[in-house]
A and B are shown apart, each in its own frame.
Chain A
Amino acid sequence: MKQFQYLRASTQQGVLEAINKPGTKIIAGGTNLVDHMKHGLITPDKLVDINHLPLKGISPTKNGIHLGTLALNSVVSEDALVLQKQPLLSMALKAGASPQLRNMATVGGNIMQRTRCTYFYDTTMPCNKREPGTGCGAMEGYNRMHAIFGASAQCIAVHPSDMCVALVALDATVIVAGKKGERRIPFNEFHRLPDDHPELDNHLAKDEMIIGVEIPDNNFAKNSYYLKVRDRQSYAFALVSVAVAMDLSGGIIRRARLAMGGVAHKPWRLFEAEKFLEGKSVSEDTFKQAAQIAMQRAKAYEYNAFKLKMAPASIVEAMKQAAGLA
């Protein structure tokens, strides 16, 4: 690992001043950043440790829950308020990584984690995300783990997070701080599709930092489910994952939220399927129709065509679990 200067931040203002300079990166849990530094994917001159800032708290707000950016994944997943109000988030977090990593990883770091595309990690291969303009190794390569939605000619990588799939389904908001103050970004607008700039994962400006996430109250707690399909039963990235949250009343779907992981450059919200579900009665047939709608613009590559069957089947299974039909 290349040498770097280590700075311990004591104020948010200090962090914002430090990250304005090139070659400076924020470190929180470090599970993704240290990994990248060992692989030589990034070689920062300075690391700003933000762990001493008072941003760990999980607290109720007037109409929701606030998660501090430094709240640990393990802590959030077992928090009483989260379990009571947003069990979907807890389920997604527990499906991610390992207990050891969840004890280190933070909310903000989870949002900022980068793709696990093997061509991104392999510095001997071309990668437009790692080195813009060099090409994409995955496009014609072994693209079994790759995107079926929203990919571009530049990049077919997927976002690896489980937590983010739940947060996008739950209409969360990312709160970021910059020199001009705070701004709030709807979760679905935080991450980007690759388009012509796959090197950019999200819309966070270089001189901004995430300080927290807010999840608005809803009526989804009783009927939500996170299904993760992977090569082994635990501790593996998703081939496909599905977050379902429904507000049911007398067998009728009043509102539904659906999102998928492992299928796109960002946590993938299924808006059209959600719209279709509103007002429909709960049945496997309804869920199958919704899954079909969700898959309309899917496009597979040589080795990930199996996702075109696995994804809709997973949507139906997750919805059945959420509705209590399974």
Chain B
Amino acid sequence: MEKENNHSRPVEESDVKDNSRRNFLKQSALLTAVAVTPAPAVMAAGMHLDEKIAEAFEKMPLKMEVNGKMLNLMVEPRSTLLDILREQLDLTGTKKGCDLGQCGACTVHVDGHRVNSCLTLGIMVNGKKVTTIEGLAKGNQLHPMQEAFLKHDGFQCGYCTPGQIMSAVACIREGHANSEHEIREYMSGNICRCGAYPNIVNAIQEVKEGGMAI
């Protein structure tokens, strides 16, 4: 079983960081993963049917570029892009809200287009470029949209914020931020339970009117 816990995670320099809370969460997630090992695999293990175990955990190669880094991973076909980003790559900025494509918290860019990563099978992103909220800033310099969200208080609890920002950047790039009405329509796939919508719209309008290439 030990092998199954090894998430074939590429080690980056940024991984060497001290964040005990995050590490604790990470570990909890791993323990949960073991606890929900599919019943057939547990049964098969009991019966020493190694082949069945292999089948239950069958993984496939996935090559994708995430925030500018080319990664070679092994993933289960049923793993969503969201789960791969969060559990395998520790990119926990992308949030899991409804996990059903209804809230937009999981919004990322695939080849420049915003999508719901919770409804995207990771294996189907093979060969593509993924950008998450972690990929927007340039070093210590926040992306203009991140700055604008801070300035305009475009959040309260902050859970929907990464998805809102990824969607907001796409909204401007697509050319759908030309009026308050249009922004509201094209941001409708991102739900904010705290109701920070007016401030989110202000943030987007400011970035749009700033005319910066984003």
Are B174 and A30 in contact, CB atoms less than 8 angstroms apart?
A: no
Contact mask for chain B residues 25-40; partner A; CB cutoff 8 A; 1 contact, 0 none: 0000000000000100
Are B124 and A30 in contact, CB atoms less than 8 angstroms apart?
A: yes
Q: Does A104 contact B (CB under 8 A)?
A: yes
Given contacts A34-B121, A35-B100, A38-B99, contact A101 B116 (CB under 8 A): yes
Chain A residue contacts of B76, Cβ below 8 A: 3
Contact mask for chain B residues 143-187; partner A; CB cutoff 8 A; 1 contact, 0 none: 000000000000000000000000100110010100000001110
Which residue of A has the minimal Cβ distance to B191?
A235
| Complex-state Cα separation, A266 to B58, whole angstroms | 39
Instruction: Report the interface size for chain B: residues with CB under 8 A from the other chain.
Output: 34
Q: Does B86 contact A (CB under 8 A)?
A: no
Contact among B78, B80, B121, B123 for A2, CB-based, below 8 A: B78
Are A99 and B171 in contact, CB atoms less than 8 angstroms apart?
A: yes
Residues of B54-71 whose CB lies within 8 A of A: 55-56, 58, 60
Contact mask for chain B residues 173-214; partner A; CB cutoff 8 A; 1 contact, 0 none: 010100000001110111000000000000000000000000
Are B186 and A47 in contact, CB atoms less than 8 angstroms apart?
A: no
Q: Does B93 contact A (CB under 8 A)?
A: no
Residues of A76-105 whose CB lies within 8 A of B: 97-101, 103-104
Are A98 and B189 in contact, CB atoms less than 8 angstroms apart?
A: yes
Contact among A2, A6, A103 for B113, CB-based, below 8 A: A103
Instruction: Identify whether the interface residues of B are mostly helix, strand, loop, or mixed.
Output: mixed
Contact mask for chain A residues 284-316; partner B; CB cutoff 8 A; 1 contact, 0 none: 000000000000000000000000000000000
Q: How far is the CB of A92 from chain B (nearest CB, A)?
A: 15
Which residue of A has the minimal Cβ distance to B123?
A6
Contact mask for chain A residues 27-43; partner B; CB cutoff 8 A; 1 contact, 0 none: 10011001101110000
Are A4 and B77 in contact, CB atoms less than 8 angstroms apart?
A: yes
Identify the interface centre among A2, A37, A98, A104: most chain B CB within 10 Å of its CB. Answer: A98
Instruction: Report the interface size for chain A: residues with CB under 8 A from the other chain.
Output: 28
Q: Does A281 contact B (CB under 8 A)?
A: no
Q: Does B131 contact A (CB under 8 A)?
A: no
Are B189 and A99 in contact, CB atoms less than 8 angstroms apart?
A: yes
Q: How far is the CB of B173 from chain A (nearest CB, A)?
A: 11
Q: How far is the CB of B122 from chain A (nearest CB, A)?
A: 10
Chain B residue contacts of A101, Cβ below 8 A: 101, 116, 119, 189
For the complex with contacts A4-B77, A47-B121, A234-B188, 18 further pairs of A-B residues with Cβ separation under 8 Å are A5-B58, A27-B121, A30-B119, A31-B101, A31-B116, A31-B119, A34-B119, A38-B100, A97-B189, A100-B114, A100-B167, A100-B189, A101-B101, A101-B119, A104-B116, A233-B185, A234-B185, A235-B188
